[in-house]
Amino acid sequence: MFKQITLPYSYADLEPYIDTLTMETHYTKHHAGYTKNLNDALLKVNIEESSIEKIFREIDDLPEEIRTTVRNNGGGYYNHNLYFAHLAKHPQKAPTGLLLEKINATFGSFTAFQETISKAALGQFGSGWAWLSTNIKGDLRVSSSPNQDNPLIETKGVWIPILGIDVWEHAYYLKHKNLRGAYIKDLLEVIDWQVVEKNYQKVIQ
Ligand code: MN
């Protein structure tokens, strides 16, 4: 059984950047729904696999009747566990150490990185995500994905996301309405780089 992470903050803690009702709905309805649908689909064909990464790598081997359901809802399960974990009430506002060095070397500066990922998030047509990913060598890449896809699914595990920006309207519409750019700007204020650094270290060690 796959489980949602326990939020390390309350629904109201990301105010005024992300509003309470959006956080509550996002976590208790959307994320809970993806997680339940993933578990139900796997149960249906008696698959007891505890590694979502392995499921993504071998997605093409899944029975056809559940493949699309697992891709969409497994993505939704995984992507939101990543997303919710790297938001915080009192975030570390910028990367430090090795990750900062890599960001500077890859994008020019932290500000330039923020512009790059904001552009990817803004440019994703329709629902989807923007990502900062790493490979096991520690290289960095910004990309975007439609729906609930992610770099793990798209590259069979070569690129591993360490930061994700959800640009589905359910992530911002109640507060920011149609202004995706305003949401992205606000979201960047509550990203905890301490968590992103830990995600990075976990992959490259
Ligand atoms: Mn979402």
37 CA distance to ligand 1 middle (Å): 15
Q: Which long-range contacts (CB under 8 A, 24 or more apart) does 139-143 make?
A: 139/102, 139/106, 140/102, 140/103, 140/106, 140/107, 142/107, 142/113, 142/116, 142/117
Q: How confident is the model at residue 49 (pLDDT cuts 50, 70, 90)?
A: confident
Asked if residue 134 is part of any domain, the answer here is yes
Give residue 84's pLDDT. 98
Do 39 and 115 lie in one domain? The reply is no
State the pLDDT confidence band at 178, using cuts at 50, 70 and 90: very high
Q: How confident is the model at residue 124 (pLDDT cuts 50, 70, 90)?
A: very high
Tell how far the Cα of 128 is from the centroid of ligand 1, in angstroms.
9
Model confidence pTM above 0.85: yes
How many angstroms separate the alpha carbon of residue 114 from the centre of ligand 1? 20
- As a whole-number percent, the residues of the chain with pLDDT over 70 amount to 100
Based on the fold, state whether residues 57 and 101 are members of the same structural domain. Answer: no
Average pLDDT over residues 68-79: 98
Domain boundary among 85, 110, 137: 85
Q: How far, in Å, from the CA of 167 to the mean position of ligand 1?
A: 7
Band of the pLDDT at 205, cuts 50, 70, 90?
Answer: confident
Mean per-residue pLDDT for 87-104? 98
pLDDT value, residue 9: 98
**Ligand 1 centre and the CA of 170: distance in Å?**
6
Q: What is the CATH number of the domain that holds 175?
A: 3.55.40.20
Q: Give the span between the Cα atoms of 74 and 14, in whole angstroms.
A: 26
**Single-letter residue type at 103:** I
Provide mean pLDDT across the span 148-167. Answer: 97
Helix ranges, the chain (H): 20-25, 32-44, 52-57, 64-85, 97-107, 110-123, 151-154, 173-176, 180-189, 193-204
Interval 4-21 mean pLDDT: 98
Which range of residues forms the domain containing residue 125? Answer: 97-204
Res 36: pLDDT? 98
Are 111 and 160 contained in the same domain?
yes
> How far away, in angstroms, is 83 Cα from ligand 1 center?
9
What is the Å distance from ligand 1's center to 76 Cα? 7
Give a yes or no: residue 91 inside a domain: no
Is 92 part of a structural domain of the chain? no
Evaluate if residue 19 carries a pLDDT over 80: yes
Mean per-residue pLDDT of the chain: 97
Distance 60 CA to ligand 1 centre (A): 24
Closest alpha carbon to 128 in 162, 104, 151: 151
Ligand 1 centroid to Cα of residue 101, in Å, is 30
Whether 101 and 189 map to the same domain: the answer is: yes
